[in-house]
Amino acid sequence: MDYTYTLFIPLVPLFVFLILGLLGHKMPPIVAGLIGTLGLGLSAVLSYFTAMNYFWTSHVPETAYTSIKGFEVPWLHLTEKLTIHLGVLIDPISVMMLVVITTVSLMVHIYSIGYMKGDPGFYRFFSFLSLFSFSMLGLVLATNIFQMYIFWELVGVSSFLLIGFYYEKPSAVAASKKAFIVTRFADLGFLIGILMLSFNTGTFDFQTLTDPHGPAIAQAGGVAFMGMSVLTWSLIFIFVGGAGKSAMFPFHIWLPDAMEGPTPVSALIHAATMVVAGVYLVARLFPVFALGAPDALHVVAWIGGFSSIFAAVIACTQTDIKRVLAFSTMSQIGYMMLALGVSGYGGEEGLGFMASNFHLFTHAMFKALLFLGAGAVIHAVHSNEIGDMGNLRKYLPITHITFLIACLTIAGIPPFSGFFSKDEILAAAFRDNKLLFAIEYIVAGLTAFYMFRLYYGIFWGKKTHYHHTPHEAPKVMTIPLLILAFGSVFAGFLPFHNLVTSDGKGFESHIDWMIAIPSVLIGVLGIAIATVMYKSETAIPDKMAQSFKHLYKWASRKFYMDEVYLFVTRKIIFRYISMPIAWFDRHIVDGTMNGIAGITQYAAYSIKGLQSGKLQQYAFVFVSGTVILVLIFVYLV
Amino acid sequence: MNILNLFVIIPMLTVGGILLTKDLKQSRLVSAIGMGFQLILSFVLVYLYLKERQAGNTAAMLFTYDALWFPSLNIHYALGVDGISAAMIALTGIVVFAGIFASWKMELLPREFFISLIILASGVFGFFISLDLFTMFLFYELAVIPMYLLIGIWGSGPKEYSAMKLTLMLMAGSAMLLVGLLGIYFFSSPDPHALTFNLIEISKAHIPIGMQRFLFPFTFIGFGILGALFPFHTWSPDGHASAPTAVSMLHAGVLMKLGGYGAFRVAIFLMPEAAHEQAWIFLILTAISVVYGAFSAIVQTDLKYINAYSSVSHCGLVLFAVLMMNQTAMNGAIVQMISHGLMTALFFALIGMIYGRTHTRLINEMGGLMKVIPFLGVVYVIAGLASLGLPGFSGFVAEMIIFVGSFQHTDLFHRVITIVAASSIVITAVYILRVVGTLLLGPIKNDHFLHLEDAKWYERISTITLVIAITAIGTAPYWLTDMINYSLVPIVQKLSSIQLTSLY
C-alpha cells in the first residue's frame, strides 16, 4: 500500500500557516478562520482515511501491524553514517496520534471561531494554530529521531507563540518565556541523548533503532558509568526531553503558567497533544527501552508515578479552574508514563504499552472536552476563579452536561471511556510493581475528588449574583463539545488491544474485575466526598483546610517549586553567574586591555620630552653624556 | 577574463562612480547598483562553481588566476575558489547588499561613507578569493583600516575611544599574524630559493614541527582576535556599540568571519601537527567564549551590547568547531560562519532601524514595540528565533552539525567540552527571549512610541534579503553543506594523514 499521500497531512497546515501568516492581515477575520478550519478539516479527513486504510482496509487479518515508510528524503548529511532524513512513518502509534491530533485540532479550530470572535489577532491566532498542527503532525510522523527533534523544537516555539498570544499582558509574556526556557533546558538533555545514541548505533532511524535485532539493542550490554550501560544513559537523557515537554516532575512548572494562553490553546496543546509528546517519544522508542534498558524504564515509571500523585494533591487545592485542569493533565500524563514504565515487550507483556496509548487517546478526548467546557464557562462569566462561579447549570445546560460527562469519564466510572483505559493501566501496574499500583489507586480517588470539587464549584454550590446573566455559548462552540462528549463516552469500546500493541500483534484482553471494582469504588468515594463538601455551600472545606493547615498551604503553593526555580534563575543564574561574568569582562579582561594601552601611553608621555626638537637641549644632553662617559672612563676603567 | 578578478574590479569601479556623484541620492544609488551587481555576481560564481564540479572538475581550487607581483619575494596575485570560499563570497555579497540599504539615509558625508564601506567590502572579497598569503594579508588590512574611519567619523557614543580600541586590538592581531605568515613563508620550502606564499603549495610542503609549534599560536591568535577569541574579544562590544548600522552589519557579519576562515584555512590547514597538539588550549578558550559570551549577554541592557556578546558566543562556536578538526565539525564551522553572518547582520540592521525611531538602545526604556512597528517586530522575532537555533532557520543546521561533529571524538575531554558548548543553546534562549519579551512585547512604556512608523521600503529590502537567506539555508541545507563537504575532503585528508602521537 502506498502511503505517500500522508505527506499532505502535515503539509496542508503548513501551507495554511504561510497563507495566513503572509496575507492574513488583509483578510476579513472570518475568511482567515474558515481557511484555517478547512485546511485542518482536510488533514483530518486524510488522517481518518489513513487510519481506516492502515487498521482495516489494507490490513491482512491475523497478521502483525508493521511500520511503513510512506515517504523519505535525505535532508542533511552529517557524517558517513549519519544523515538526517525527513519523511513520514506509518505505524499503529503514529496513525493513532494522527487521529487524535487532527480530531482535537479540528474541534479547537471550530470552537475558536466562536471563542476568539472579535479579537484583533484573529488571523494570527489561526495561523499559529496551523503552525502548531503542522509541527505536531510532523513530530508524530517522524521517521527518525532527529526529525522528531526538529519538530519537537517547532512545537515548542508554536506553544511559546500561543501562550504569549495576548502579548500585551506581562503575565502572558512571562509564562511563554518560562515554558520555552524550561522545555529548552530539558531539550538539551534530549539532544545529548540523541548524540550519544546515534554515535553508538550509527543511525537516527526509528525502524533500525527499534528493531529487536538491530544495533541499538545489541549495545545493551556493558557498563559505562554508575553501573548502567551507554544505552541506558542515552535513553535517560532522551527521557529528560520527554519529561520536559510532558510536564513531568521537576520540569512541570511551566504547565500551570501556560494557562495564560487562550483556552482553546490549552485544550489543544496543553492537554491533548503537545504535552503527550513525551509519552509518544517513549512509546516510539519502546522496544529499545524494554529490551535494551529496563533501568531507564524504571526511571520512566517512577517519574510518572510520582508526578501523578504530586499533581493530584496540588489539584485538590487550586482555585483557578484552568490550573486545576492543568495539574490534572500532569497527573494523567503521569499515569501514561507509569503505564509505559511498567510494561514489557510483546504480547500480553505489553499490556502497559497498550494501556498507555489507550489512555492517551481517551484522555485527549475528555481533557479537550474539559478545557473547552471551561472555556465556555470563562466565556460566560469572564473569570477563571472558582469563587466567581456557582450555580451555572441553569444558564449553561449543554456545557453542564458535557462537563459532567467528562468528569465522570476522568473519574473512571463505567461505561465511559476513562474507565477502560484506566483499568488497563492499573492492571499493568499490578503485575509489575505493587507500590506504584497502590499510588495509582490513591490518585484515582483524588482525581474523582478534585474533578467533582471543580464540577460542583462551577455548576452547583453557592448562588452567585452575576452582573450580566451568563448565557450559553453559541453553537459553533457547543457543537465541538457535543462531538468530544460523544468521543469520551464511546472511545472506550475501541479494540485497542488488537490495534496498538508493543509488537504490532493483537492479544486477548479482558477486564480484570478484581482490580476494576475497587477502582470504581474509590472513584465513587471521591465523588461522594466531593458531593458532601461542595454540592452546596458548607463549612467543611474550610475546616478541612484548617485541620491539614500545613499540607494545604504547601499544596496550594504548589510545594514551592516555583520559588525554587525563581531562586535558581533570578538569584543564581542572573545575580551570581551572569552579573559577575559581565563585570569580570568589563573590568578585568577589558581593564587589562585598557591597562596595556594606558601603560603604552604613559611610557610615550614620559619619553616624549626627549624628542623636543630644541637644538640647545640636544646639545646639552649630548655634551653632558660625553662628560659622563669621559668621567666613567677616566675613573672607573 | 577570470570571473574572480571582477570581485575586485567592480568595487573599484563603484568607488570611482561614487567619486563622481554629488549628493546622498546619487551616491547611494551608485552603491546599490554596484553592490547589487556584486551580489548577482556572487550567485553566478556559486552557480558556475557547481556547474564546473558537475562537469567533473576535481581540482582543489577552481577559476585560478596567477600573476607574479613582487618577484624578489615570490609574491603572487593568485586567485582561486573552492566550495568554502564560494559560500563565503555569497555571504559577503548578501550582507554588503543589505548593508547599503540599511544606510539609505546616511546624511553625514554620504560619499565618503559609501566609499569607505565599499573599500571595506572589497577587502573582504579579496581576502576570500586570494590564494597567496601575502595578498590575502594585504586584503585583510584593506578591510580593517576603513573601520577606524567608519567608526571614528560616523559612529555614536564614545566613538573615538571605540574606534581606537578596535583598530589597535585588531592591529595587534595583524602584527602577530604577520609574524606567523612570514614564518610560514620562510619555512615553506627546504630550498631557500623556492620559498612561496602560495597556500596550496605550502600545504603540500611540510613545515618543520618545531616551527609549527612556534608559529601556530601566532597565526591562530592573530586570526582569533578578529574572530572574538576569549580573552581578546573586548573590542567587539565597544566597537559594535559605537559603529553605525551598516558597519556593525559588515563587521559582525563578514569581517569577523575572516578570523574563522583564516584560522581554518591558514593556521590549521598549514600547520596540522601543531594544531593537533595545541587544540586543547584553544578548545578551552573557545568553549569559554561560547558560554561566557552567552552569560554576559543575559545581563546587558543595550541592544548592541547584547548582540555583540551574542556574537562572541556564536563566533566562539565557529573556532570551537574548527578546532575539532574533523569533516563534520568543520563543515558545521563554515555553516555557522555563514549563518551567524546573516543573523547578526539582520540583528544589527534591525537595531539600527529601531534606534532610528526610538533614539534609544536601552531595552528597559522600550516595550510593546510589536504593536506599533509590527513588521520590524516580527522580523526581530525571526532573527531571535534563528539565533537561538530554531529548526527552519540556519542557526539550527549549523549548531547541529557542529555538535554531531564534535561528538565524534570519543575521549572524555571532547565529550565534556562539547556538552559545555551545547549548553549555550539554553542560555541563548534566555537572553533572546528576555530581549524579545522586554523590547517587543508587554505594554507600551512610552507614549512617544505610539506614533512610530513601520519599516520603509528600503528597510524592507534590507531585512527581507537576509531573512530569505536565513530560511533558505535552514530549510534546504543540503546544497550548501554538500558544496562545502566536497571541498573539505582534501583538507581533512591532509589533517588525518599526519602522524598522530598520542595526545589525549
Residue B474 C-alpha, separation from nearest chain A C-alpha, in angstroms: 11
The span from the CA of A514 to the CA of A6, in Å, is 43
The span from the CA of A56 to the CA of A44, in Å, is 18
In A31-100 the beta strands, taken as DSSP E runs, fall at 68-77, 83-90
Q: So what's the pLDDT on residue A277?
A: 93
Average pLDDT of A399-427? 89
**Would the pLDDT of B499 be above 70?**
no
Q: So what's the pLDDT on residue A574?
A: 78
Best of A124, A134, A153, A574 to mutate (most B CBs within 10 Å, chain B): A153
Terminal CA-CA length for chain B: 50
Confidence bin at A45 (pLDDT 50/70/90): very high
Three-state secondary-structure class, residue A28: coil
Cell 620559498, located at residue: B195
Rounded percentage of chain B residues whose pLDDT exceeds 90: 29
**Would the pLDDT of A203 be above 60?**
yes
Residue A608 C-alpha, separation from nearest chain B C-alpha, in angstroms: 20
Residue A457 C-alpha, separation from nearest chain B C-alpha, in angstroms: 33
Q: For A168-175, which contacts have Cβ atoms below 8 Å and span 24 or more sequence positions?
A: A168/B368, A168/B371, A168/B441, A168/B442, A168/B443, A169/A260, A169/B442, A170/B442, A170/B443, A171/A260, A172/A260, A172/A261, A173/B437, A173/B441, A173/B442, A174/A257, A174/B437, A175/A254, A175/A257, A175/A258, A175/A259, A175/A260, A175/A261
Q: So what's the pLDDT on residue A408?
A: 92
Nearest Cβ partner for B404 among A174, A195, A594:
A195
Three-state secondary-structure class, residue B161: helix
Strand partners, A88: A71
Nine-digit cell string for A7:
505527506
The span from the CA of B329 to the CA of B322, in Å, is 7
Write the burial class of residue A218 (CB in 10 Å: 0-12 exposed, 13-18 middle, 19+ buried): middle
Q: Which residues of B touch A593 (CB under 8 A)?
A: 165, 169, 234-235
Query: Do A199 and B419 lie within an 8 Å CB cutoff?
Result: no
Average pLDDT of A610-631? 84
The span from the CA of A568 to the CA of A583, in Å, is 20
Q: So what's the pLDDT on residue B124?
A: 92
- Full 3-state SS string of A452-499: HHHHHHHHCCCCCCCCCCCCCCCHHHHHHHHHHHHHHHHHHHCCHHHH
Residues A429-462 pLDDT 10s:
888 888 988 998 899 999 999 999 999 888 887 7
Residues A509-533 pLDDT 10s:
777 788 888 888 988 998 988 888 8
Q: So what's the pLDDT on residue A556?
A: 76
Confidence bin at B450 (pLDDT 50/70/90): confident
- Closest alpha carbon to A562 in A288, A198, A257: A257
Question: Is A595 in CB contact (< 8 Å) with chain B?
Answer: no
The span from the CA of A275 to the CA of A254, in Å, is 11
Distance of CA B116 to the CA centre of its chain: 18
What is the rounded radius of gyration, in angstroms, for the C-alpha atoms of chain B?
Answer: 22
Q: So what's the pLDDT on residue A503?
A: 83
Q: What is the mean pLDDT of chain A?
A: 87
Residues A62-108 pLDDT 10s:
788 888 888 889 998 888 888 899 999 998 999 999 999 999 999 99
Q: So what's the pLDDT on residue B500?
A: 55
Q: Which residues of A touch B425 (CB under 8 A)?
A: 184, 187-188, 191
Q: So what's the pLDDT on residue B503?
A: 44
Q: So what's the pLDDT on residue B504?
A: 41
Query: Do B295 and A577 lie within an 8 Å CB cutoff?
Result: yes
Question: Do the beta carbons of residue A215 and residue A201 sit within 8 Å?
Answer: yes
The span from the CA of B27 to the CA of B33, in Å, is 10
Nearest Cβ partner for B485 among A77, A169, A180:
A77
Residue A511 C-alpha, separation from nearest chain B C-alpha, in angstroms: 45
Average pLDDT of A245-266? 90
CA distances from B113 to A67, B15, B23, B100, B148 (A): 62, 11, 12, 10, 12
The span from the CA of A24 to the CA of A28, in Å, is 8
Check residues B417 and A571 and name the one with the higher pLDDT.
B417
Confidence bin at A223 (pLDDT 50/70/90): low
Best of B326, B430, B492, B493 to mutate (most A CBs within 10 Å, chain A): B430
Q: Which residues of B touch A254 (CB under 8 A)?
A: none
Instruction: Kindly tell me the number of DSSP H helices and DSSP E strands found in chain A.
Output: 28, 2
Question: Do the beta carbons of residue A158 and residue A210 sit within 8 Å?
Answer: no
Residues B361-400 pLDDT 10s:
888 888 888 888 889 999 999 999 999 989 989 999 999 9
- Provide the b/e sequence for A539-573 (b: ≥16 CB within 10 Å): eeeeeeeeeeeeebeebeebeebeeebeeeeeeeb
- Closest alpha carbon to B31 in B119, B140, B142: B119
Residue A63 C-alpha, separation from nearest chain B C-alpha, in angstroms: 39
The span from the CA of B166 to the CA of B152, in Å, is 10
Nearest Cβ partner for B391 among A153, A181, A579:
A153
Residues near A73 by beta carbon (within 8 Å), at least 6 away in sequence = A85, A86, A87
The answer for B500, left when phi > 0, alpha when psi is -120 to 50, beta otherwise, is beta
Residues B112-121 pLDDT 10s:
888 888 999 9
Q: State the amino acid at position A86 in one-letter form.
A: L
H-assigned helices in A202-251? 206-210, 215-218, 230-245
Residues A459-471 pLDDT 10s:
887 767 777 778 8
DSSP B326: S
What is the rounded radius of gyration, in angstroms, for the C-alpha atoms of chain A?
Answer: 31
Question: Do the beta carbons of residue B162 and residue B238 sit within 8 Å?
Answer: yes
Terminal CA-CA length for chain A: 108
Average pLDDT of B481-504? 75
Q: Which residues of B touch A195 (CB under 8 A)?
A: 403-404, 407, 418
Question: Do the beta carbons of residue A200 and residue A235 sit within 8 Å?
Answer: no
Query: Do A75 and B478 lie within an 8 Å CB cutoff?
Result: yes
Query: Do A76 and B441 lie within an 8 Å CB cutoff?
Result: no
Question: Is A191 in CB contact (< 8 Å) with chain B?
Answer: yes
The span from the CA of A348 to the CA of A352, in Å, is 9
Q: Which residue of B has its CA nearest to A587?
A: B234
DSSP B228: T
The span from the CA of A533 to the CA of B379, in Å, is 53
At B63, which helix (H) or strand (E)?
strand B62-70
**Would the pLDDT of A563 be above 90?**
no
Q: So what's the pLDDT on residue A224?
A: 67
Check residues B140 and B445 and name the one with the higher pLDDT.
B140
CA-CA-CA-CA torsion for A488, A282, B418, B382, nearest 10 degrees? Answer: -20
Q: So what's the pLDDT on residue B346?
A: 93
Confidence bin at B502 (pLDDT 50/70/90): very low
Residues A469-515 pLDDT 10s:
788 888 888 899 999 999 898 888 888 888 888 888 888 877 778 88
Question: Is A2 in CB contact (< 8 Å) with chain B?
Answer: no
Residues A344-400 pLDDT 10s:
888 788 888 999 999 999 999 999 999 999 999 988 888 888 888 878 888 888 899
Q: What is the mean pLDDT of chain B?
A: 87
Interface predicted TM-score of the whole assembly (ipTM), two decimals:
0.91
DSSP for B65-97? EEEEEEGGGTEEEEEEE-HHHHHHHHHHHHHHH
Q: State the amino acid at position A169 in one-letter form.
A: K
Residue A633 C-alpha, separation from nearest chain B C-alpha, in angstroms: 41
Q: So what's the pLDDT on residue B367?
A: 82
The span from the CA of B323 to the CA of B263, in Å, is 9
CA-CA-CA-CA torsion for B7, B8, B13, B15, nearest 10 degrees? Answer: 110
Question: Is A582 in CB contact (< 8 Å) with chain B?
Answer: yes
The span from the CA of B441 to the CA of B473, in Å, is 28
Q: Which range, of A350-364, A611-625, B131-145, averages the lowest pLDDT?
A: A611-625
Sign of CA dihedral B405, B426, A300, A104: negative
Q: Which residues of A touch B234 (CB under 8 A)?
A: 585, 589-590, 593
Instruction: Kindly tell me the number of DSSP H helices and DSSP E strands found in chain B.
Output: 22, 2
The span from the CA of A299 to the CA of A624, in Å, is 88
Cell 653624556, located at residue: A625
Query: Which residues of chain A from 22 to 41 reach within 8 Å of chain B, CB to CB?
Result: none
Average pLDDT of B423-431? 91
Rounded percentage of chain B residues whose pLDDT exceeds 70: 98
Q: Which residues of B touch A591 (CB under 8 A)?
A: none
Write the burial class of residue A222 (CB in 10 Å: 0-12 exposed, 13-18 middle, 19+ buried): exposed
Question: Is A185 in CB contact (< 8 Å) with chain B?
Answer: yes
The span from the CA of A310 to the CA of A302, in Å, is 12
Nearest Cβ partner for B404 among A78, A188, A578:
A78
Strand partners, B66: B78
Nearest Cβ partner for B408 among A79, A176, A593:
A79
Rounded percentage of chain A residues whose pLDDT exceeds 70: 98
Question: Do the beta carbons of residue A451 and residue A328 sit within 8 Å?
Answer: yes
The span from the CA of A320 to the CA of B458, in Å, is 49
